[in-house]
Amino acid sequence: MNFATKSEQKANLKALNKLAEKEGENLRTALLIIRNDTTDLEKKEELNDLYYAVPYYLSMWTKNKRKMFKSFPEFVSAMDALKEQYNEVKNADICPVAKDTAEIVDETAKDIIKDMLNSGKKVEDHNISKLFDGLKVTVNAHYVYRNGSSFIRCFWYLNGNVTAYDKIVAIVAERKKEVRK
């Protein structure tokens, strides 16, 4: 089992802990019912101790807890299964997904434009054909300041015609795929 991001792994761990919490709530409810039906004070004290010992998280499920709840085999087997999955998720590798060509071109183009604007250069008819696999791509860019925030506005040109940036990137990605074949 592998995850693309750490947050994906944490989300899975959280979901498993939620399931364990539900199992714990069910057991606590059963313990309260049994305790309220019992007249023996020693038995009531034992049930009270069990009630407060029910783990809230899978990381709290240990061999000692397992022994403590041996008289509730359904709970023990459910928690064992969840703990096994928890350990599997916890020990899983984080393998980031490789970025495709379009994402790499996108980030590089934006970085180049941002660097040029930050250094005070004007970005007018700037030829960045190298980045776009030799296509004749030019860009005009400038900062826009509005309501306390700023962003970069770009006008992209392919062969001298205004073209949507996404379309240019899609053309480059398609050309790269054809080259690989």
Inform me whether the pLDDT recorded for 127 exceeds 70. Answer: no
pLDDT digits over 12-65, tens only? 999 999 999 999 999 999 999 999 998 899 999 999 999 999 999 999 999 999
Which one, of 87, 82, 89, 84, lies nearest residue 26 by Cα? 82
Model confidence pTM above 0.75 = no
pLDDT at residue 100 above 60? no
Is the distance from CB of 45 to CB of 87 less than 8 angstroms? no
Indicate the residue type of 157.
Answer: Y
Burial zone of 79 (CB within 10 Å; 0-12 exposed, 13-18 middle, 19+ buried): buried
Cα–Cα distance, 146 to 123 (Å, whole number): 20
Distance CA 19, CA 136 (A): 56
pLDDT of res. 31? 94
Q: What is the residue extent of each domain of the chain?
A: 2-94, 101-180
Closest listed residue to residue 22, CA positions, set 88, 75, 77, 80: 75
What's the whole-number average pLDDT of the chain?
A: 84
Question: How many other β-carbons are positioned within 10 Å of the β-carbon of residue 8?
Answer: 13
CB 78 within 8 A of CB 23: yes
What is the residue whose two structure tokens read 């062969």?
Answer: 159
